Amino acid sequence: MFGAVQLGVLAAGIVLFVPMAMAGYHLSRNKVLFFSGALFITLAVGVHLTPYFPLISDFIYSVPPVLVVEDRDSCISYLHDVVYEVSLHLHNRDNNHFNDDNFSNISNYKGLWRWEKSVPVSACEFQQLGKSDASDLLNGSWIVVAGDSQARLAVVSLLSLVLDLEKMELIRGDLFKRHSDYQIFVDEIGMRLDFVWAPYVKNLTDLVIDFKRNRNYPDVLVMGAGLWHMLHVTNPLDYGVQLQLLRDSLVSVLPFSPEFDTNGPVTGSVSIRSPHLFWLGMPMLVNTMLNSEEKREKMSGAMMNAYDKELYRSKLLRQSGGPLLLLNIQSLSQKCGVQCAMDGMHYNGAVYEAAVHIMLNALLIESHQRLL
């Protein structure tokens, strides 16, 4: 933004250098002095009167500043700065209960979100990846997504990026089987994706131990659980204990450096590149839309807050010193709003699509890549 100091420097430069240029054309000293005085007076009046002319002032102050990001890692903190443009017709109010059929409806919503146009976000140059860019980025990768139905919806959005509609229809029956694992290999790009049904944190810990036992780690690991524990156990303190056990397992069995970077294994460990790790957070819960009295009683706002506190206390997330980067579904669902909710805990595809693009842009940053 141009300020008074910048305008003053500009005016002084004009007053100083324009007369010098005129002198170079051998004009008389009186003419140069006259022109210099007139120019100085004109610029002084203009600078002082500019704020009183809205059109001129708006033009000057609307010029965006140029911000150069020297350390792209700092862009991680801006990844969730998104806005939504939501139309009411996106919400299927005739079907308030979530079932397998709703999955197909959710995955079809596109282009309802974008990153904010703030200066730091623009400087980070985040991108919504198309099929070609996403395929290039994920080429040859092994991706594991483990969790409950929230994780399954993230898989839907991810596969929708790399598969065409015809192939998505072919796999829909297997992909939308409730409470089951799913695996696919995309031959065109050599990408393997495993969805592991893991509704409890204990299931995630067991999965991590299996990786260690097999001495085989995915390139990208996305995990998240909490809704089932909230409904069937309803004990935030126990949830926190389970999260700490998961963190301890991750630290002890996966090939991290002490600072949880992805540059390579710790000394003496298996010579393997550390996976990129993400935690898929729980969504905003719309209590009045939940489809049973038990859910409305146990999954209250106060209970959700208690579970969130345990997540941050567990130091599982990178922002609190842990290994996992948060994909903040709660923040995204809040920004999308109640109209995006299908049944109070599952949302239309705009929420999970944004989460997938946030993950992909984080992969670009962490792997020091840029899209051409």
pLDDT in tens, 240-268: 999 999 999 999 877 654 444 444 433 33
In angstroms, the Cα distances linking 82 to 151, 238, 339 are: 20, 33, 17
Q: Which of 288, 342, 333, 298 is nearest to 98 (CA)?
A: 342
pLDDT at position 59 is 47
pLDDT of res. 97: 42
What are 158-190's pLDDT values in tens digits?
A: 999 999 999 998 888 888 788 899 999 999 999
Inform me whether the pLDDT recorded for 233 exceeds 90: yes
pLDDT of residue 77: 95
Residue 26: per-residue pLDDT: 55
Q: Could you tell me the pTM of the whole model?
A: 0.76
pLDDT at 317 exceeding the cut of 60: yes
Contact 304, 250 (CB under 8 A): no
CB neighbour class for 167 (10 Å; exposed up to 12, middle 13-18, buried from 19):
middle
Residue 35 pLDDT exceeds 80? no
